[in-house]
Chain A
Amino acid sequence: MIEVEGLTKFYGPKAAIQEVSFQVARGEVVGFLGPNGAGKTTTMRILACFMPPTSGTARVAGFDIGKDSLQVRRRIGYLPENVPLYGDMTVRQYLTFAAEAKSVPRQERGKRLASVMERCLISDVSDRLIRNLSKGYRQRVGLAQALVGNPEVLILDEPTLGLDPKQIIEIRSLIRDLRGERTVILSTHILPEVAMVCQRVIIINESRIVAVDTPENLNLRLQKSSRILLEVDGPAEEVQKALAAVEGVLTVAPQEARDGRRRFLVETDREQDLRKDLARAVTSNGWGLTELRPVDLSLEDIFIRLVTREEEA
């Protein structure tokens, strides 16, 4: 549905994005993840045909963003990062304008507006001036105008920015509901959000894509090592030494003590399962082993790792 090839955008001498390539299949919800200034907004603006790239091409719904920009624009709904809306219009006036500009047939307009407002939970403010709405409601109106043209593709730039936790949950479930029905590409720098709503993640850092995968796969792929947490009843230093002596252990990191029991985070070679060896090392010394479990890398850890790794390279 979206095919991006070698997109590059320069602002003066500085590149905002470089050689960005990826694909999004029909009905997929894809997250665009990256720290501030990574180039998320730039990529989305180019895909939404707001501005042309310096080089590279992209096709949305089979149409080239440069040559067939009008065709692309007919098939997308775009929510810009700071949700620019006309403050002196009421919600209904504004959505009517958006529907007209997006060529929604006159006889369908009323029905479309009603269904979009219901979906975005803004029916109760339909006659209020947009200027007087809270940030959360403005965000929903922004989402509503993106949906009003019944687009195949939604491009949402930080759709949960500036919302309170309840509103975030509402917007997320709204986006999750779109899965399968529309192709969605959304940007965020909130990691759990990606795992919650996206089927695939594109991680971008300093203007380049560093990884593309499912949230689960990223977890697997990026764990070069697996980590095991042990809780041991015994003298801290000796336990640490004993654990470090086990073959295959990379590092042993003592954690804070709890009721005299020490916790250790052991990082081991991914290829071997060292749980038995570690248990033996503890019990053979006569210490009590009260807990032993593998720890998953959180997406957050992965993100930080990816990003720092990229910097080292």
Chain B
Amino acid sequence: MGIAAIFKKELRAIFASPVAYVVMAVFLALSGYFFWGFLARFTFYSIQASMNPAIGGGVNIMELVLGPLFQNMGIVMLLMMPLFTMRLFAEEQKAGTMELLLTYPVRDGAILLGKFLAVVVLLGCMLALTATYPILLMAWSAPEPLPILAGYLGLLLAGTAFLSLGLFASALTENQIVAGSLAFGALLLIWVLGWSADLAGGTVGKILGHLSFLNHFEAFARGIIDTKDLIYYLNVTALFLFMTLKAVEARRWRA
């Protein structure tokens, strides 16, 4: 009951503000640009392959178009998710509506889950819109559907992990810009960890690589579901939701 009330209220607020539409439009435009780029490259290779039998069946649409597209969408998503989450708690804390909300007979956990689910739905909408690109592909080739679905599952899981981190940042402050910057910085840092992993090598490199958000995305982008990656994203999401809960509880103490 409580979760549903919060969820509906947040969903209404999200779709009443221009932020959701602008972010979705930008995301759609960027991924469209990448799609077009990879598709052009793919066409070029396939023409070459058809002329040079030595390369033969080496051209694969998942490998050359959708895989890279998913990779790039993951990165763009990482950069944009803070825009979805930054207002969730910060706005209420600033406006003081948090005071009233916290005296309603709704558990703190239900409040944050309601908010979280609302942005997950928004993320789902955004990803669903990008499905136009693979569907376009189906018009003149026959890509396998399962790897594509795996790719989308990966995007959704990675996205929810980004959202949970953003939600946590939002619970820490009453300033939306601060919440956005915090989430943005943290996400970038965890992403960049993957690069240093290659440099560091050894055990440190392994640990860093394991922490990196996007390393766990690679298999998904290739259309492969690895339980290790799945569990990683679910763990990250659960961890940040738990930290958000603690942050909301701490708000009460400091109020």
Contacts and interface: CB of A to CB of B under 8 A. Distances in A.
Interface string A97-125: 11011110000000000000000000000
Contacts, number: 70
A181 interface: no
B146 interface: no
A217 interface: no
Contacts of A78: 100, 103
A154 to B, nearest CB: 12
B103 A76 contact: yes
B5 A51 contact: no
Contact of A50 (B6, B9, B107, B252): B252
A145 interface: yes
Contacts of A149: 105
B96 A80 contact: yes
A51 B252 contact: yes
A143 to B, nearest CB: 12
Given A80-B96, A84-B96, A84-B97, A50 B103 contact: yes
B16 A100 contact: no
Contact of A97 (B8, B96, B252): B8
Interface string B95-116: 1111111111111000000000
B97 to A, nearest CB: 4
Contact of B8 (A51, A85, A100, A103): A100
Contacts of B13: 86, 88
A287 B238 CA distance: 91
Nearest to B16: A88
Interface string B1-40: 1101110110011001100000000000000000000000
B105 A73 contact: yes
B199 interface: no
A49 interface: yes
Contacts of B5: 97, 100-101
Nearest to A105: B1
Given A45-B255, A89-B12, A103-B1, A98 B104 contact: yes
A100 to B, nearest CB: 4
Contacts of B106: 101
B201 to A, nearest CB: 49
Interface residues of A, number: 28
A23 interface: no
Given A80-B100, A97-B8, A102 B253 contact: no
Interface in A28-67: 45, 48-52
A84 B103 contact: no
Contact of A93 (B12, B17, B103, B252): B12
Contact of A70 (B1, B101, B107, B252): B107
A26 B170 CA distance: 41
Interface string B215-250: 000000000000000000000000000000000000
A74 interface: yes
Contacts of B1: 100-101, 103
A88 B16 CA distance: 8
B9 A52 contact: no
Contacts of B9: 86, 89, 97
Nearest to B252: A51
A255 interface: no
Contacts of A51: 252-253, 255
A82 interface: yes
Interface of A: 45, 48-52, 70, 73-74, 76, 78, 80, 82, 84-89, 93, 97-98, 100-103, 145, 149
27 contacts: A49-B102, A49-B103, A50-B255, A51-B252, A52-B253, A70-B105, A70-B107, A73-B103, A73-B105, A78-B100, A84-B96, A84-B97, A84-B98, A84-B99, A85-B100, A86-B13, A86-B97, A89-B9, A97-B8, A97-B9, A98-B104, A100-B4, A100-B5, A101-B1, A101-B101, A103-B1, A103-B105
Given A80-B100, A84-B96, 10 more contacts: A45-B255, A73-B103, A73-B104, A78-B100, A84-B99, A87-B95, A93-B12, A102-B104, A102-B105, A103-B1
